[in-house]
Amino acid sequence: MNKPTPAQLLAPYIGLSLHHLYEASVQNVDADVDFIEDVYEELRGGEPGSLREDFCGTAALCAEWIKRDPTRVAYGVDLDEPTLEWGRKHRIGLLGDHGSQVVLSQEDVRTAKSPTVDVQVAFNFSYFIFTERAALRDYFSSVHASLNQGGLFLMDLFGGVESEQELLEKTRYPAQVDPDGTEVPEFTYHWDQHRLNAIDRSLRCFIHFKIKGGPKIKKAFRYDWRLWMLPELRELLAQAGFSASHVYAEGWDDDADEPDGDFKRKKRLDNEGGYVSYLVAER
Ligand SMILES: C[S@@+](CC[C@H](N)C(=O)[O-])C[C@H]1O[C@@H](n2cnc3c(N)ncnc32)[C@H](O)[C@@H]1O
């Protein structure tokens, strides 16, 4: 007998899809847009108006961008049409008339044509799919060309000792109601990080979900990445024409014994444990 698909496993939960579980556990578009606004103010002064979200998936970030300020515009680019379609219905659709300020295109991020923008982002490590230097440099060159003069390119990355080890990290999320009204039951998110190949730094990861009192959805998402390191990324950004790049690392909350959510520009970053940082490149 064939293994049940994620859609079959989720069928008893009305309207629930993997996208709801992914967004509730992986994405924090509110914090991402806060960071974009803060860093633009710091480096450029004023507010950015136009955004391009590469690897946008459901375009949750585009939706948050417009929700904050309906005079803005956003462009989302992703290869996967069914995911874009879900985003149009469940995220952009919630913006009402302002939904027309978001344009989603099914294209490769390296060749997508959109008007030039103030800010372009590649979040949740999506550019790690480019495993060769030449491919990543081509992507960075295409970002450089699609930014306005003085535009900023923001990406995130993870690193540190833990990023190079096998890891299964489980995080519980309480029951919640999605912005589209869907009831999301309590579930646990499993980040399953396999062994890193030191020769080419290839890394395979999976996301699994376990619904409380319900099914486990194994390998809901799979990633075959290269675990890029900061100096390589910064060198490739410079080769692609960016005039400067900066690392923004999170501070530490001693009382809570966890990262404090406050990202500051840093010249030194300890490689202890694991970290997630933003890398910001200036056109
Ligand atoms: C990890 S998801 C990112 C979803 C969301 N934007 C986030 O930040 O969590 C990666 C997305 O990249 C898309 N993708 C992969 N390669 C691509 C390419 N070359 N051009 C455009 N999209 C691509 C996939 O279809 C997938 O939706």
Residues 4-12: what's their mean pLDDT?
93
CA of 257 to the centre of ligand 1 (A): 32
pLDDT of residue 253: 86
Residue 64 lies in a domain: yes
Residue 130, pLDDT above cutoff 80: yes
Cβ-count burial 108-126 (b if 16+ within 10 Å, e if not): ebbebebeebbbbbbbbbb
Tens digit of pLDDT for each residue in 75-94? 999 999 999 999 999 999 99
Please indicate, yes or no, whether residues 80 and 202 belong to a single structural domain of this protein.
Answer: no
Residues 30-50: what's their mean pLDDT?
97
Return the higher-pLDDT residue of 258 and 125. 125
Residue 220 near ligand 1, beta carbon < 6 Å: no
Across the strands, what pairs with 117? 147
Residue 112 lies in a domain: yes
pTM of the model: 0.96
Pick from 3-7, 151-155, 259-263 the range whose average pLDDT is largest. 151-155
pLDDT of residue 2: 84
Residue 251 lies in a domain: yes
Number of independent structural domains in the chain: 2
Please indicate, yes or no, whether residues 137 and 31 belong to a single structural domain of this protein.
Answer: yes
Asked if 217 and 18 touch (Cβ cutoff 8 Å), the reply is: yes
Residues 35-64: what's their mean pLDDT?
97
Please indicate, yes or no, whether residues 62 and 145 belong to a single structural domain of this protein.
Answer: yes
Residue 237 lies in a domain: yes
Which CATH number does the domain housing residue 267 bear? 3.40.50.150
Residue 30, pLDDT above cutoff 90: yes
- Report d(CA 55, CA 53) in Å as an integer: 7
Please indicate, yes or no, whether residues 216 and 235 belong to a single structural domain of this protein.
Answer: no
pLDDT of residue 101: 97
- Report d(CA 185, CA 175) in Å as an integer: 4
Please indicate, yes or no, whether residues 180 and 257 belong to a single structural domain of this protein.
Answer: no
Residue 225 near ligand 1, beta carbon < 6 Å: no
19-33, 41-55, 213-227, 244-258: least confidently modelled range: 244-258
Residue 179, pLDDT above cutoff 90: yes
Band the pLDDT of 256: cuts 50, 70, 90: confident
- The identity of residue 115, as a single letter, is P
Residue 258 lies in a domain: yes
* DSSP class per residue in 8-49: HHHTTSTT--HHHHHHHHT--HHHHHHHHHHHHHHHH-S---
Residue 272 lies in a domain: yes
Please indicate, yes or no, whether residues 29 and 70 belong to a single structural domain of this protein.
Answer: yes
Band the pLDDT of 259: cuts 50, 70, 90: confident
Tens digit of pLDDT for each residue in 200-248? 999 999 999 999 999 999 999 999 999 999 999 999 999 999 999 999 9
Residue 7 lies in a domain: no
pLDDT of residue 174: 97
Please indicate, yes or no, whether residues 88 and 171 belong to a single structural domain of this protein.
Answer: no
Residue 210 belongs to what domain range?
161-225
CA of 213 to the centre of ligand 1 (A): 31
From 23, 58, 78, give the residue whose CB has the most ligand 1 atoms within 8 Å, as the site to mutate. Answer: 78
Residue 87 near ligand 1, beta carbon < 6 Å: no
If you take atom 7 of ligand 1, which residue's CA is the nearest one? 124
Q: Write down which residue in 225, 245, 274 finishes a domain.
A: 225
pLDDT of residue 195: 83
Asked if 75 and 117 touch (Cβ cutoff 8 Å), the reply is: yes
Please indicate, yes or no, whether residues 173 and 126 belong to a single structural domain of this protein.
Answer: no
Residue 194, pLDDT above cutoff 90: no
Q: Write down which residue in 204, 225, 246 finishes a domain.
A: 225
Please indicate, yes or no, whether residues 258 and 243 belong to a single structural domain of this protein.
Answer: yes
Residue 15 lies in a domain: no
Residue 258, pLDDT above cutoff 90: no
Closest ligand 1 atom number to CA of residue 77: 21
Kind plus residue range of the DSSP H or E element containing 281: strand 275-282
Instruction: Copy the structure tokens of residue 160.
Output: 């540190």
Please indicate, yes or no, whether residues 83 and 215 belong to a single structural domain of this protein.
Answer: no
If you take atom 20 of ligand 1, which residue's CA is the nearest one? 108
Please indicate, yes or no, whether residues 110 and 246 belong to a single structural domain of this protein.
Answer: yes
Please indicate, yes or no, whether residues 51 and 125 belong to a single structural domain of this protein.
Answer: yes
